[in-house]
A = this chain, B = another copy of it.
Amino acid sequence: MDEWQQRPVRELAEAIAAGTLTPAPVLQACLRKIDARERTLAAWAHVNRAAAPAIRGDALAAAPLCGIPIGVKDIIDTADMPTCYGSAIYEGFRPAADAACVALARAAGAVVLGKTVTAEFGLSSPGATRNPHNEAHTPGASSSGSAAAVAAGMVPLALGTQTGGSIIRPASYCGIVGYKPSFGLIDRTGVKPLAHSLDTIGVLTRTVDDAQYFAGVLARRELAMPLHGALRIGRYGAQHWGNLSAAAQSALQQADEALLLAGAVIGERPLPSWHDELQAAFSTIVLWDVAATLAFEKLQHLPRLREETRKVLGYDTPAPAEYDEALIQGETWRAALDALFGDCDVLLAPAVPDVAPEGILHSGDPSYCVPWSLLHTPSLAVPVTTGARGLPIGVQLIARIGDDARLLAVGRLLESTLQAMRASQDQAEPA
């Protein structure tokens, strides 16, 4: 792996701004990775080999993402590249504008290297992307291309979106960091909508530090904070963790150990009585919303949509009263989050129940992500270990709404402690 790829993005950007590194070799290293693996991984819907910063000179030198290549999930508009939303009906479509998140990244000096493969409209019909750790397996979806591209070292930063589990799941399957911010933290202008009260822009990166740094630019605010005093972590629903795969259990146990080692006080946070109602409310909201957000596609292009998408659009739309009730349930549960967290700052929970399943027609189980999408809480997938067939698996950290900086700080602590544990294990067991 190229040496620069081991460095934090904030250091790379500083080096480029200071003139000790130029953007060209970083970009070239990305393109070499793409050349080496894209044919089998299919992470990209479009690559712009002539990609360059949108700003120049002093403005670029002062910009926090100065010369850093990024990948953009292809349900996010770009004015200089096709945007196809993972759908044949939008083949070759060129939007008139960049999405807000793309414009903000470009204004910060980022170089948009290309568009990454998405499930059709970010829904349930995945693209052709394969898991870089084992190509017989799914990378997860719908931000499949972004996760695979980052995991394969094709790009250090990528934009994703999550309505149900579309950031946390692929990040966990691909062994990288996925960060879904608090609902609304990053402006959604120019992102193809699926469900207005759920859709959230986030990032896929190699490290928590990169996620914090990149998302801070997109959210237009500082997402770093120091951790003071005793850190209280809650094992969320741990009484059911025994039902998970051995890989998921091992990931949770290692994360648990690392957090203890880092000085955290760890308690239990049982599932609330309404936990089992979350999925139904989520489904009601999505079904009501897609009947409008995809009304044009259904009316004008139904036969050209993928089978899975047609299936979703073919379900009965819930009654307005059911939809209203689901929205009210969401509000009620969000109001109960303080009780759910209790005296804990951050929750530790599964991200996925197992490593990525085999095959690429289905993208795995999103059920551990859906609750936090509906609840609008920030969540973070942190890679922990490797299970069967070389497939990685992560865990999920969750914080209260708006407490994103603390979530990321805890994520950094978990990540660095896991690294230290691995390093000391490697020392203890010489090859």
Assess the B97–A293 pair: CB atoms within 8 A.
no
0/1 string, A87-129, CB within 8 A of B gives 1: 0001001011111101110110000000000000000000000
A292 at the interface (CB under 8 A from B): yes
A56 at the interface (CB under 8 A from B): no
Q: Which of A336-357 contact B (CB under 8 A)?
A: none
Count of this chain's copies in the oligomeric assembly: 2
0/1 string, A284-295, CB within 8 A of B gives 1: 000001011101
Assess the B299–A54 pair: CB atoms within 8 A.
yes
A275 at the interface (CB under 8 A from B): no
Count of interface residues, chain A, beta-carbon cutoff 8 Å = 42
A232 at the interface (CB under 8 A from B): no
Assess the B187–A299 pair: CB atoms within 8 A.
no
Assess the B300–A54 pair: CB atoms within 8 A.
yes
Q: Of all chain B residues, which has the CB nearest A184?
A: B196
In the complex, what distance in Å separates the CA atom of A103 from the CA atom of B299? 7
Assess the A299–B196 pair: CB atoms within 8 A.
no
Assess the A220–B291 pair: CB atoms within 8 A.
yes
A10 at the interface (CB under 8 A from B): no
Assess the B187–A196 pair: CB atoms within 8 A.
yes
Query: Given that A100-B295, A221-B320, A295-B100 are contacting pairs, would A300 and B79 also be in contact in the complex, using a CB cutoff of 8 Å?
Result: yes
- Residues on B with C-beta less than 8 A from A219 are 320
Q: Of all chain B residues, which has the CB nearest A328?
A: B402
Assess the B54–A292 pair: CB atoms within 8 A.
no
Assess the B220–A320 pair: CB atoms within 8 A.
yes
Jot down 18 A-B pairs with beta carbons below 8 A, ordered by A: A79-B296, A93-B96, A97-B297, A98-B295, A98-B300, A99-B296, A103-B296, A104-B292, A104-B295, A106-B299, A184-B196, A184-B197, A187-B196, A188-B193, A189-B293, A189-B295, A220-B291, A222-B320
